[in-house]
Amino acid sequence: MPADSSSLPGHGQTVCVTGAGGFIASWIVKLLLDRGYSVKGTVRNPDDPKNAHLRALEGADERLTLCKADLLDYQSLREAISGCQGVFHTASPVTDDPEQMVEPAVEGTKNVINAAAEAKVRRVVFTSSIGAVYMDPNRSPDTVVDESCWSDLEFCKNTKNWYCYGKTVAEQAAWEMAKEKEVDVVVVNPVLVLGPLLQSTINASIIHILKYLTGSAKTYANSVQAYIHVKDVALSHILVFENPSAAGRYLCAESVLHRGEVVEILAKLFPDYPVPTKCSDEKNPRAKAYKFSCQKLKDLGLEFTPAKQCLYETVTSLQEKGHLALPASKQQEEPIKIQSS
Ligand SMILES: NC(=O)c1ccc[n+]([C@@H]2O[C@H](COP(=O)([O-])OP(=O)(O)OC[C@H]3O[C@@H](n4cnc5c(N)ncnc54)[C@H](OP(=O)(O)O)[C@@H]3O)[C@@H](O)[C@H]2O)c1
């Protein structure tokens, strides 16, 4: 932070980030503080040690306030959002349990936009997901996945993909509420997010990689997945907030990889871990990557971190945070203690 912070884009502005202690939101808070914003971060329990990393961020002492709020408690959100010029609505359950997923995702989003309307905020940036974009069995393999694509709710329900169902209904609710309450809403749709953790706990998308290093996954699936670096996701949120002409949805993806490519990269970068080498499906042809376009974010100036770098930083962060033991060959040998007689 330069000595004269008044030249920073966020100087003098207060914004709210919901679910501030989460993987993506922690990075949004960090980048907002770096850009001079004052931040009101909502957490369910400000005293929980899992949120301690937020208070350690540069600028947090002067410009971060943690507010206790639950997505289903309108009053708590109203208090957190009052006095803010912007809201980053990132909090959401990340689960396939329909009971835990759908209501907080959908009602929570309505509550946030309602509270934002009351507070007359300039813009709400809503963290949606690729889950609200690509779950469509009728899409042709040649279709380029972009912001015009929507997941099919019946298909999500029938395949019990309650996370994608909840995120799709939540995003639809966000657009309806934005129109009804005349709130400026912009949406970011990230694909699976990887990269260094700021928080001490492990979130769902990181487990996707951890399982390939601990020996718990013996094989890899015959499927593809799109990836994005967490810092690029956080920066996308800020770009669409700060750019007055930003509007609509922004798909946020760097590349689509087959699981076979992921394990190959991991095994090359970290040869000492028991990374699986066999596919669980040896009958069917190898699943093909889908095409996608993130031209809208590129037009705003975002430069995407390559997936290989993303995987490298994910693993080294897991090691640094103590979630993944260093391979035996890299561990410092304990000096042998010789007992004096
Ligand atoms: N990670 C990905 O690959 C990915 C990809 C696309 C989209 N997204 C979206 O990005 C957002 C953040 O995901 P993440 O990966 O950062 O997950 P995360 O680390 O699990 O963070 C989720 C946050 O939401 C909060 N939350 C959950 N239920 C809540 C409730 N009822 N009231 C208040 N807060 C609640 C959690 O608070 P507690 O700490 O109190 O539980 C947590 O801070 C979500 O909207 C997710 O759908 C994630």
Cβ(95) – ligand 1 distance below 6 Å: no
Cα–Cα distance for residue pair 298/309, rounded to 1 Å: 19
Answer yes or no: are the C-beta atoms of 167 and 98 closer than 8 Å.
no
* pLDDT band at residue 340 using 50, 70 and 90 as cut-offs: very low
CB 15 within 8 A of CB 85: yes
* pLDDT tens-digit series, residues 143-163: 999 999 999 999 999 999 999
Q: Is 10 in the pocket of ligand 1 (CB under 6 A)?
A: no
156 lines ligand 1 (CB under 6 A): no
Task: Take atom 19 of ligand 1 and give the residue whose Cα is closest.
Answer: 22
Q: Which two tokens stand for residue 229?
A: 């670096």
Q: Are 258 and 220 in contact (CB under 8 A)?
A: no
User: Do the Cβ atoms of 220 and 247 come closer than 8 Å?
Assistant: no
**pLDDT band, residue 2 (cuts 50/70/90):** low
Any ligand 1 atom below 6 A from CB of 101: no
Residue 338: per-residue pLDDT = 45
Q: In whole angstroms, what is the distance from residue 149 CA to residue 132 CA? A: 8
Given the residues 40, 167, 231, 296, select the one marked as catalytic.
167
What is the rounded distance in angstroms from the CA atom of residue 143 to the CA atom of residue 252?
17
* Ligand 1 centroid, distance to 65 Cα (angstroms): 19
Residue 220 Cα to ligand 1 middle (Å) = 26
Whole-number Cα distances in Å, 199 to 128, 156, 309: 21, 30, 20
Q: Is the pLDDT of residue 337 over 70?
A: no
Using one digit for the tens of pLDDT, what is the confidence trace for 257-291?
A: 999 999 999 999 999 999 999 999 999 999 999 99
User: Ligand 1: which of 73, 92, 135 to mutate, judged by most atoms within 8 Å of the beta carbon?
Assistant: 92
Best of 28, 31, 40, 44 for a ligand 1 pocket test (most atoms within 8 Å of beta carbon): 44
Instruction: Kindly list the distances between the CA atom of residue 274 and the CA atoms of 216, 277, 318, in Å, as whole numbers in the listed order.
Output: 9, 9, 16
Q: How many H helices and E strands in the chain?
A: 12, 14
Q: pLDDT digits over 173-215, tens only?
A: 999 999 999 999 999 999 999 999 999 999 999 999 999 999 9
Taking only the tens place, the pLDDT of each residue in 100-151 is 999 999 999 999 999 999 999 999 999 999 999 999 999 998 999 999 999 9
Calculate mean pLDDT across residues 27-46: 98
The mean predicted confidence, pLDDT, of the chain is: 95
Answer whether 225 contacts ligand 1 (Cβ < 6 A): no
> C-alpha dihedral over 307, 35, 37, 236, to 10 degrees?
-30
CB of 209 shorter than 6 A to ligand 1? no
Strand partners, 258: 224
* Predicted local confidence at residue 328, as pLDDT: 74
Q: Are strands 185-190 and 248-252 parallel, antiparallel or unpaired?
A: parallel
Q: Indicate whether residue 19 lines ligand 1 (CB < 6 A).
A: yes
What pLDDT, on a 0 to 100 scale, did the predictor assign at position 223? 97
pTM of this structure = 0.96
| pLDDT (0 to 100) of residue 332 | 57
CA distance 10 to 27: 16
- CATH of region 11-324, choose from 3.40.50.720, 3.30.1300.10, 3.40.630.30, 3.30.420.40: 3.40.50.720
C-alpha 91 – ligand 1 centre gap (Å): 5
- Domain extent listing, the chain: 11-324
Q: Determine the length of the chain.
A: 341
Shortest-distance Cα residue to atom 41 of ligand 1: 44
CA of 204 from ligand 1 middle (Å) equals: 9
Of 157, 158, 309, 171, the C-alpha closest to 232 is 309
Pocket test for ligand 1, best of 26, 40, 47, 90 (most atoms within 8 A of CB): 90
Q: Is 30 a catalytic residue?
A: no
- Is there an atom of ligand 1 within 6 Å of 24 CB? yes
> What's the pLDDT at 13?
98
What percent of the residues of the chain are helix, what percent strand, and what percent coil, each to the nearest 5? 40, 15, 45
How far, in Å, is the centroid of ligand 1 from the Cα of 93?
Answer: 5
For residue 259, report the distance from its CA to the centre of ligand 1, in Å.
24
Q: Is 21 in the pocket of ligand 1 (CB under 6 A)?
A: yes
The ligand 1 atom nearest the CA atom of 43: 40
